[in-house]
């Protein structure tokens, strides 16, 4: 079975609200929180006999 995981592109929180500043936000490339780990977790537990592909639409 072939499985495609897609991480969609969406605006970064701090780009959407330029007047808001969080201490330490520069550590997360403009996000106020670290990246979500849902897709990497699903990929990690997917049985090896499945073909897995990951597409990150937010990558520029």
Q: What is the pLDDT of residues 23-57, one digit of tens each?
A: 555 555 555 555 678 999 999 999 999 999 999 88
Question: In the chain, which ranges are continuous DSSP H helix?
Answer: 13-16, 38-45
Give the phi and the psi of residue 25 in degrees, each rounded to 5. -65, -25
Let me know: does 58 contact 12? Beta carbons within 8 Å: no
Let me know: does 33 contact 43? Beta carbons within 8 Å: no
Domain that holds residue 6: 2-56
| 20 Cβ contact list (under 8 Å, min separation 6) | 13, 14
More confident of the two residues 59 and 40: 40
Per the structure, how many domains does the chain have?
1
pTM exceeding the 0.85 threshold for the entire prediction: no
């Amino acid at each position: 079975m072939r499985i495609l995981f897609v991480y969609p592109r969406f605006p970064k929180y701090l780009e959407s609200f330029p007047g808001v500043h969080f201490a330490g936000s520069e550590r997360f490339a403009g996000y106020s929180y670290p990246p979500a780990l849902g897709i990497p977790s699903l990929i990690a537990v997917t049985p090896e006999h499945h073909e897995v592909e990951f597409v990150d639409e937010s990558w520029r």
